Amino acid sequence: MSDFIVAISEARVRRLEPFGVEIDFDLSRPFDAREAKAFRDLFFRENWLLFRNQQLTMDEQIRLIELLGTVIPGFGAGYLYPEDKVIGSIPLDYHSDMSATPMPLDVLSLLAIDLDETAGTWTGFVSGKRALNQMPDALRKQVADLEVTFLQTPADKSQLTDEIPDDRYRLVRPAVINHRITGEPLLYTIESATALVPDMSRAESREMLDRIFSYIYAPTNELRHVWKQGDFLIWDNIFLQHCRPPLDERYRRRMQRVGAGRKTLREQIPDYGFGAFFGED
C-alpha cells in the first residue's frame, strides 16, 4: 500500500467541522496512479483538503490540481498578495470564482508561501451542498424549481441591484445545480452575485433569497481557516463558497494560487470588462 493511501486511512485524517479534512502528508513527491485516484476520490467526497507544511513550486502545484480539473495555461494561476494590483487588500464577500459565467472555475488552491502568521489572516468557507441538505423538505422542494439571476461583481454584495439595466451582463441559472463530477445537488446562490429571482416580485424575491442565504451563511455551515506558513488548501469552487476580511498591508501574505476551470472568463464572455485577472485584461 502506498504512502498516501495509508495517510488518508481514517486514523490519520483529521476531520473538521462542519466539513473538510486535514491530511498529514508531504505532497512534494508525485503520486502514482493509485494515489492519484485516492486523492481525487477524497477531494470529491470532502470538497476541502488541508495539507500543512508544504513546499511546492508553481509547477508542482499545477500538476496536483490537474488531477482534479483542467488547468488552462496562463489562466487561473498566479500570486496573490496585498499589493498585487489583482485583488489587492480589499475584503471579499462570500463568492464562487466566476460564478456569473456558464462555467465557473471548478477547483481552487492556495499555498501560503510567505506569511506573517501574527496577522491571523483567515479565509471563510460555506458549503452549498450541506446547506441544501439542512433545509426543511418543503423549502428544498421549492428551491429545486427556482431560477435565479446572477450578476458579475468584484465579490462585493453592496454592488448587487435588483434593478438591472438592460445592457448589463447577467446569467439566469437554476438555484440548485448538480455537480459535474459527483452529480450531487447543491445550492448555488451567492450573496455577492445572485441578484434576484426573475419570476417573483422584488419583495418575494428578496424574501426567498434571504431564506436561502440563512441556510448557506448560517454560522453552523461555516468553516474559517486561519492561515499558517506552508498551509496548502484545495477546495471545490462549486460545492463551496469562500470569503475573506480586508487584508492589513503591514503583514506579509503571499499566496501561490492555482485554479482549474474548463473555460476562461474571456472565452465565455468575450466583451465583458471585468479588469485584469491572472493574465486576462
Return residues touching Fe ion (CB under 5 A). Answer: 97
Alpha-carbon distance of 12 to 22, in angstroms, equals 9
Closest CA to 194 of 181, 179, 185, 206: 206
- Our CB check for Fe ion shows the closer of 215 and 235 to be 235
- Residue 127 or 205: the one with the smaller Cβ distance to Fe ion is 127
Give the nearest distance from C-beta 32 to Fe ion in angstroms: 32
- Closest-CA residue to 261 (of 55, 75, 105): 105
Tell the smallest beta-carbon distance from residue 109 to Fe ion (Å).
12
Angstrom distance (rounded) from CA 236 to CA 232? 14
Contact 242, 58 (CB under 8 A): no
Q: Which is nearer to Fe ion, 4 or 242 (CB)?
A: 242
- Comparison of 60 and 97: residue with beta carbon closer to Fe ion: 97
Euclidean distance between CA atoms 237 and 104, whole angstroms: 8
List the 122-127 sheet strands across, edge first.
92-95, 240-244, 122-127, 222-226
**49: nearest Cα among 183, 260, 232, 228:** 232
Least distance between Fe ion and beta carbon 278 (Å)? 11
CB 220 within 8 A of CB 18: yes
Supply the minimum distance, in Å, between the C-beta of residue 127 and Fe ion: 16
Question: Minimum CB separation from Fe ion for residue 108, in Å?
Answer: 7
Give 206 or 266: the residue with its C-beta nearer to Fe ion. Answer: 266
CB 228 within 8 A of CB 115: yes
d(CA 206, CA 209): 5
- Chain-centre distance of CA 182, in angstroms? 17
Which residue has its beta carbon closest to Fe ion? 97
Nearer to Fe ion, 110 or 135 (CB): 110
| Smallest distance from Fe ion to CB 207, Å | 28
